[in-house]
Amino acid sequence: MLIGTAGHIDHGKTTLVRALTGVDTDRLPEEKRRGITIELGYAYLPCGAGDSAPDQVIGFVDVPGHEKFVPTMLAGASGVDFALLVVAADDGPMPQTREHLQILELLGLGRGAVALTKADRASPERLARVSHEIAALLAPTRLAGAPVFPLSALTGEGVAALREHLLGIAHSLPRPTGEGGFRLAVDRVFTLPGAGTIVAGSVHAGQVAVGDTVLVTPAGITARVRSLHVQNRKADQGRAGQRCALNLAGLSVDQVKRGDWLCGSAQALPATRLDIDLQLATDAPRALAHGAVVQIHHGTRHLLGRVALLDAGLEKGGLPPGGRSLAQVVADAPLHACRGDLVVLRDGHGRHTLGGGRILDPFGPPRQRRHPARLAVLAAQALSKPAERLQALLEHAPLGLDLGQLAAAENQRRADLLTLLPAASCHLTDKADWLIGHLALTTLAGRVTARLAEHHAQYGDELGLERDRLRRMVAPQAPAAAFADWLEQWLGEGLLARSGSAWHLPGHRVELDARDQGLADTLLPWLQDAGFEPPWVRDVATRLGQPEALTRDLLKRLAARGEACQVVRDLFYAPAAVRRLGDIAAELMAEQGAIRAADFRDRTGLGRKRAIQILEYFDRVGFTRKLGHGHAEQHRIRGDLPFS
Ligand SMILES: Nc1nc2c(ncn2[C@@H]2O[C@H](COP(=O)(O)OP(=O)(O)OP(=O)(O)O)[C@@H](O)[C@H]2O)c(=O)[nH]1
Ligand SMILES: [Mg+2]
């Protein structure tokens, strides 16, 4: 169990932790000199006798009470599962008593106890009155009814009762299961002579073991766990609900800092647009304006950002104190966040806590963020049962979902997510890591066939549409690889047909009359025999004894039938030759990771200009993609050649 202190400055948090554990957590000279806490402090209390296992050790995170250090308090409170609210009997509740309590509420803490300190300085009547005030303060929160322990850390009176209570709770708490991917919110980084970089924090999910590789996010650096301490004890593995200190190999202290996360796998993705269910505090100083600058607190991190209110009615007047609205928080820098995480918002100057909420989607869209279809997605995200949530998300995704992004948002492995969905309800495109519901896929097939029927009616002499053009017409937002996969599936089902690079409805053909067929039979072998150097349209026409315009038109229709490839306006290749050129490009790609025009020229024996024309043709039909300019220009393979 991890216990976080909370409460106004000087009310006795640090003194109490020392009375409970024997550890003085104020270590800095400045803390000693000023008599206040500045940095987070850590102490441990074994539950059993002797050398307890990590599971039987209570961890304390002692936070500063000074109003200037509320961000530090937030970082300390983010990973704890039990709140110890400290109120001095002489002062009673003070501003940071209220603010810390509000933060505990925003962080969803429902377990806690109150220490009514400095009882040695108050009369029994005073103690009763302050207890009453505290109960009233807690009443509207998740901590309502939490027990109050009057005590004096100075005389020790009452401390044992609190300690017994905490030990009892620690024994009764269910052991965290350690489900989901490993996530640790970093709050301390230091070097240990002889060991190297130590990174410490609370584990929010999953587990970690010696030998594991962890990812520092959002920086994206990996490191290996050389050894680890759990609740201040050497251990082989740690899990959710515990404080861990990891000795990381391959990482220097300046590559990681408080606010970062250590994650277990590559499924973590950086996020900047957090769609949240925002609740503004009743005592927020004023309405929260659409576009307001705020401090975003998430895990142990805080950074600046802006709030967009997704309820259009609030755009003018803002969200009033006590109000609730869906909102998108746009962070100034990327962070690692998952669905279900809590964020706390403070004003841009960091003076007041404004409110906060649960993240519904860490990957909010930059546009159309309050479109009804988007709001329906957020309603689906709010469902708490994972299987129902995923099913609802799929139902609201007419073009499907990015499975990698979904896994990152849910902090689950892809395979584990898929087990939550009935296999018959969705279709997975492995190559694109893309998931789509069967109903959506059927609807999409209908739109594709309707679009092709329209095209055939309008352009009878064209065979059909190339894959990428078809995608841009029907589903521009769908990834090319997923769309290609769907087309293949519909091809297999006999819904569509393909000739050369053209997709069309089965049965649709560019017809040739007997005379054209005769001419085609004559000229196609010429193209085939010429290999990489086919004749120009003009030369074909001369040899055929036909006008140039008629020959060009015929070759275009042959291209539409997949029997020739139009590389430039007046130059047609035999498909077999283009396939061989494609094989050469693939070879270069395999050897060098890219295709440069000069290499392609050398390998094919073509002239420089022709080599470039062929590469441009490859780009056009979606086989390759051009990257860079001038000397750095190169091509990479991104699809298949559009011939079967
Ligand atoms: N008489 C009396 N004094 C106490 C008691 N607990 C703490 N103090 C004194 O109150 C002062 C502040 O105590 P701290 O423990 O530093 O208070 P804190 O809440 O940790 O303060 P910050 O961390 O700066 O917010 C110290 O001088 C303590 O000796 C108590 O139970 N009785
Ligand atoms: Mg203190």
pLDDT band at 279 (very low <50, low <70, confident <90, very high): very high
Contacts 24+ apart (CB under 8 A), 163-167: 163/20, 163/45, 165/113, 166/1, 166/3, 166/20, 166/45, 166/58, 166/82, 166/84, 166/113, 167/45, 167/47, 167/58
pLDDT for position 50 = 60
Distance 90 CA to ligand 2 centre (A): 17
The reported pLDDT for the residue numbered 625 is 92
Question: What's the pLDDT tens digit per position in 97-114?
Answer: 999 999 999 999 999 999
Average pLDDT of the residues in 529-547:
96
Residue pair 438/445 in contact by the 8 Å Cβ criterion: no
- Report residues whose beta carbon is within 6 angstroms of any ligand 1 atom: 9-15, 36-37, 64-66, 117-118, 120-121, 152-154
Give yes or no for residue 460 having a pLDDT over 90. Answer: no
pLDDT at 432: 80
| Least confident residue range of 40-54, 358-372, 467-481 | 40-54
pLDDT tens-digit readout, 23-32: 999 999 999 9
484 alpha carbon – ligand 1 mean position (Å): 68
pLDDT band at 425 (very low <50, low <70, confident <90, very high): confident
For ligand 1, the distance from its centroid to the CA atom of residue 37, given in whole angstroms, is 10
> Best substitution site from 14, 38, 155 to test ligand 1's pocket, by max atoms within 8 Å of Cβ?
14
**Alpha helix (H) residue ranges in 296-437:** 372-381, 386-395, 403-410, 414-418
Rounded distance, CA 176 to CA 203, Å? 11
Q: Which residues contact 298 (CB under 8 A, 6 or more apart)?
A: 78, 274, 335, 337, 341, 342, 343, 344
Which residues, including other chains, have CB under 8 Å from residue 429's CB and lie 6 or more apart? 435, 436, 481, 482, 485, 486
- The reported pTM is 0.81
Burial of residue 320 (number of CB atoms within 10 Å: 0-12, 13-18, 19+)? middle
Instruction: Tell me the ligand closest to 26's alpha carbon.
Output: 2
The CB density around residue 538, as the number of other CB atoms within 10 Å, is 12
Q: Are 7 and 95 in contact (CB under 8 A)?
A: no
Distance 69 CA to ligand 1 centre (A): 17
Q: Is beta strand 57-62 parallel, antiparallel or unpaired with respect to 2-6? A: parallel
pLDDT for 561: 81
Mean pLDDT of 526-541: 97
Task: Tell me the pLDDT band of 51, cut-offs 50, 70 and 90.
Answer: low
- Read off the pLDDT of each residue in 67-95 and give the average, rounded to a whole number: 96
In whole angstroms, give the CA distance from residue 442 to residue 447. Answer: 9
The residue written with tokens 């393909």 in the block is: 498
Asked if residue 426 has pLDDT above 90, the reply is no
Nearest to 398 by CA among 357, 444, 433, 453: 444
Ligand approaching nearest to the C-alpha of 7? 1
> How high is the pLDDT of residue 643?
64
Phi/psi class of residue 375: alpha, beta or left (left: φ > 0; alpha: ψ in -120 to 50)? alpha
When the pLDDT of each residue in the chain is averaged and rounded to a whole number, the result is 93
- Residue 644, pLDDT > 60, answer no
